[in-house]
A = this chain, B = another copy of it.
């Protein structure tokens, strides 16, 4: 199994994740995104609300040209004491320009999806404070 049950729960527990892509000249780009889990494919879907222009966004164009991406979902379990936790997923992105609407319904998205979406196939997962203690980092290759 790619993700543990706690990781799956955590991945979709936050209102936003942040997706890092690499653009022309090797320059990174990072932007807040909606993060969804596809239980059939066991991978991650980055969907935009209908009409958000996903297909023309920089993240989408970057991922088309350069499929290596990284996604972080994180929060503070507590501010005092300072208890950060996160899951970082590094992997390959595949961009899709159609089918997002049906996919969004199937995976229970809380909004109508744009036809275009990004699917992330995980290669390496790094977590802290999810299945481990706070400040204890766990990393593994999954592909």
Interface residues of A (CB under 8 A from B): 15-16, 18-22, 25-32, 66, 68-72, 74, 76, 79, 84, 86, 88, 90
Point out which of A16, A18, A88 has the most chain B C-beta atoms below 10 A from its C-beta: A18
Interface of A (DSSP majority class) = strand
* Cβ–Cβ < 8 Å partners of A32 in chain B: 72, 74, 84, 86
Please state if A88 and B31 are interface contacts (CB–CB under 8 Å). yes
What would be 10 A-B contacts, judged by CB atoms less than 8 Å apart? A15-B76, A15-B79, A18-B74, A20-B20, A21-B28, A22-B28, A26-B26, A26-B68, A28-B68, A29-B90
Find A20's partner among B15, B29, B79 (CB 8 Å cutoff).
B29
Once A26-B66, A72-B32, A88-B30 are accepted as A-B contacts, the answer to whether A18 and B18 lie under 8 Å apart by CB is: yes
Q: Are B86 and A20 in contact (CB under 8 A)?
A: no
A137 to chain B, nearest CB (A): 10
**Docked-complex contact A30 and B30, CB < 8 angstroms:** yes
The verdict on A76 contacting B20 (CB below 8 Å), with A29-B70, A86-B32 known, is no
Q: How far is the CA of A66 from the CA of B79 in the complex (A)?
A: 32
